[in-house]
Amino acid sequence: MELTVLVDNNCKTDYYLLAEPALSFLLENNYQKILFDCGYSDVFIKNAYKLGLDLGDVTDVVLSHGHIDHTGGFMRLQDLYKKMLKAGISLNMKNVIAHPDIFEPKLDKNSKNVGFPGTQQDIFDLFDVELTRSPKWLTPKLLYMGEIFPTYEYDYKLRDETALAYMADEGLVIIAGCSHVGIANIIEHAKRLTKETRIFSFIGGLHLVDKSEYKIRELGIYLRNQNIVNFYPCHCCDLNSRIILSEYVKMKEVYSGLKLKF
């Protein structure tokens, strides 16, 4: 499997790609092309074009949760597909896979909705939509984890958040959106579902902005005990949390355009 970061908060010198406070990954194998989240705007589409990646043959779109920095670009993707169809370009049927609560409003501290920008009905014309709380194998090695049942306490109740787990030869590769439910809970849920205890890599948001040093170090101890070989923190992870976590686990850089192979 090859993973390309289509958009992250960070960009890198000499790549000349765009960044925004959002997340979108493209996962590819020989017969499937899976888009994991769509960022906030059309930035992920522009970056894909510059990278020479065709989003027209995406087979599945997986949405990690309903927040607009992960779903805002979905309507731009739909607009792209409509333009392609109008131009006479045929498209394969595309599946959208998400938790049933993905369309529920997500209110910020000012009671503004920062959730999915459209409605469920908006996407039925172009997509085969599967809303499920249950885990589902997208490929023989890639698992949609469904609703995540926490092992550890966490302080943000976002039921519609899910993640992906890839069964690499070296162990699990965990692919997360924001980790609102807690990184430890995501990892433990993946272990339960796959019966694999080795964690080879983690890539995704950490939801650690403005967290207390105690909470960050508590997570650091957990991560160190997992013996994670490759740790790629991105998106919702500030400098302070990265510095503290670097005492416990070796950090790797993430940026728009990063390519990884598993």
Per residue in 102-129, pLDDT (tens digit) is 999 998 889 999 999 988 887 877 899 9
User: Cα 141 vs. chain centroid, distance in angstroms?
Assistant: 17
DSSP 180: T
Strand locations in the chain (E): 2-7, 24-28, 33-36, 60-62, 94-98, 127-131, 136-137, 142-144, 163-168, 171-176, 199-205, 230-234, 259-261
- What are 148-172's pLDDT values in tens digits? 988 887 766 788 999 999 999 999 9
Amino acid at 74: F
Structure tokens at 110: 């000012």
Give the contacts of 250 (CB within 8 A, at least 6 positions apart).
Answer: 231
The pTM for the full model equals: 0.96
Work out how many domains the chain is built from and give that number.
1
Residue 158, both tokens:
């976002």
With both helix axes pointing from N to C terminus, report the angle between 213-226 and 183-194 in degrees, rounded to the nearest 10: 30
Q: Domain of residue 247: give its range.
A: 2-261
Q: What is the CATH number of the domain that holds 30?
A: 3.60.15.10
